[in-house]
């Protein structure tokens, strides 16, 4: 039986829910992490402007993605979930999104807000977007500037922040845009706007960023070419006004979510954990490459492809880790994983230096500051200088005992709960509510592996 799109009560209007992680025995067992958030957002959005009914298996049912599902319903698509967990999107066709009746609340999702800005910009409609306190503090100008080139207009708060009104254009013109800094969200917003524009829309990124939008657009029938340039940049060209056809999508497990139980297994002595069906897109696997450079015992089993995305089962065993120097060029392939990498670095021997992290200051929180302050509260020395984070490893001897200010950031909350599993004294995060935005079953999954996390 089909059920309409619903969401749990959003974390940004819920009372804070502190969580405490206690030192754990060996973590063991097998688990499947939630579907990839990036792929889930894109499957819903592209399915909504395709012709026919798209079926999505393994969609992440976290608040961020559920808010995107509600947004697509508000924009005219029909979205529902079957009792067996399969989602169906009845698309309206490209150019046929309708004007929403009310303000669209994207909760905590920067990906949802930015990508939808691009999709709406190419349609002759007006839509208003808002979000929680964290999302309303995040800059949108780097997305709105290139989208104005199509002919769209934007009304924002001072500083280019939400709430934001998007006034789409009736006659979008294709653009060629060179990204000043690597950003998969900005690239995707431009490509989504370019769907409605005649001719070719081109994005040139200074270095490759995650390519889920390109792969998904091709899966739905768009004509799109990707060329690596001699200077290391990448040129993506999209032919506008394609006839996108509904497709079946099987969403791989989110490598960003898998990072938390993976690092927990690495830092808790005696652990051996298998994480099934994890996406290993080569533009998303920077964390796992870095962990293996640090000495992590991570094996890829049953490697296969799902809709153009590489997938494998990860087998992770406790390992003594050593500090490494993480180059700035790797940041785009692991930008969401630096909070949990910092936890691995804290438990390693030696010093880990992570460079090129300016993007972390404009995520759900200022993650650079949050990481450094959280580590200090747990007895680990760390410094931030410009866009570089340096963590001095304690060789597994983590004092713990800190109370962490999560700042409505799900990844900060999960990262420090993982640290608490290896610390001498319990580690408490001030609010575990935001975890539901990306990993609603985090506590249950971790408990199933033997973790001790209590409310």
Q: Find the largest Cα–Cα distance for the chain.
A: 62
Cα angle 318-323-328, degrees, rounded to a multiple of 5: 115
d(CA 161, CA 145): 13
372, β-bridge pairs: none
Structure token pair of residue 38: 């990036």
Q: How many whole angstroms separate alpha carbon 272 and alpha carbon 26?
A: 8
CA atoms lying within 13 Å on the CB side of residue 383: 5
Write the CB contacts of 173 (distance below 8 Å, at least 6 apart in sequence). 149, 150, 151, 197, 199
Q: What residues contact 270, with CB distance under 8 A and at least 6 apart?
A: 25, 26, 318
Q: Are 360 and 308 in contact (CB under 8 A)?
A: no
d(CA 260, CA 265): 9
Angle CA 90–91–93, to nearest 5: 155
Do 409 and 432 meet the contact criterion of CB atoms below 8 Å apart? no
Nearest CA among 434, 362, 338 for reference residue 64: 434
By annotation, the residues acting in catalysis are 336
């Amino acid at each position: 039986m089909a059920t309409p799109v619903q969401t749990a009560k959003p974390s940004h209007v819920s009372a804070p829910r502190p969580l405490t992680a206690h030192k754990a025995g060996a973590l063991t067992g097998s688990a499947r992490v939630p579907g990839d958030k990036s792929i889930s957002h894109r499957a819903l959005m592209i399915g909504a402007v395709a012709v026919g009914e798209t079926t999505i298996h393994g969609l992440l049912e976290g608040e961020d993605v559920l808010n995107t599902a509600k947004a697509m319903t508000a924009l005219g698509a029909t979205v529902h979930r079957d009792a067996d967990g399969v989602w169906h999107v009845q698309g309206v066709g490209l150019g046929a999104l309708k004007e929403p009746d009310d303000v669209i609340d994207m909760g905590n999702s920067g990906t949802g807000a930015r990508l939808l800005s691009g999709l709406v910009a190419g349609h002759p409609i007006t839509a208003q977007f808002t979000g929680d306190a964290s999302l309303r503090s995040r800059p949108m100008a780097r997305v709105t500037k290139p989208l104005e080139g199509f002919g769209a207009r934007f009304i924002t708060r001072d500083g280019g922040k939400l709430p934001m009104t998007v006034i789409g254009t009736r006659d979008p013109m294709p653009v060629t845009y060179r990204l000043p800094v690597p950003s998969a969200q900005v690239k995707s917003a431009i490509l989504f706007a370019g769907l409605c524009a005649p001719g070719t829309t081109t994005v040139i990124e200074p270095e490759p960023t995650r390519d889920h939008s390109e792969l998904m657009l091709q899966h739905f029938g768009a004509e799109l070419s990707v060329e690596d340039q001699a200077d290391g940049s990448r040129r993506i060209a999209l032919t506008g006004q394609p006839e996108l056809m509904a497709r079946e999508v099987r969403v791989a497990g989110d490598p960003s979510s898998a990072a938390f139980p993976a690092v927990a297994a690495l830092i808790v002595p005696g652990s051996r954990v298998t994480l099934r069906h994890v996406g290993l897109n080569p533009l998303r696997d920077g964390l796992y490459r870095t962990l293996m450079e640090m000495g992590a015992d991570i094996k890829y089993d049953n490697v296969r492809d799902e809709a153009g995305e590489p997938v494998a089962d990860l087998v992770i065993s406790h390992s003594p880790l050593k500090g490494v120097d993480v180059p700035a060029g790797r940041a785009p392939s692991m930008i969401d994983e630096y909070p949990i990498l910092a936890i691995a670095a804290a438990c390693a021997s030696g010093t880990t230096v992570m460079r090129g992290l300016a993007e972390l200051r404009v995520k759900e929180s200022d993650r650079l500051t949050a990481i450094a302050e959280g580590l200090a509260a747990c007895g680990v020395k760390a410094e931030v200088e410009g866009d570089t984070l340096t963590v001095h490893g304690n060789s597994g001897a983590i004092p713990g005992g800190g109370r962490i200010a999560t700042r409505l950031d799900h990844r900060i909350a999960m990262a420090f709960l993982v640290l608490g599993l290896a610390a001498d004294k319990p580690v408490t995060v001030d609010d575990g509510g935001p975890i539901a935005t990306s990993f609603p079953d985090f506590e249950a999954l971790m408990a199933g592996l033997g973790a001790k996390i209590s409310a």
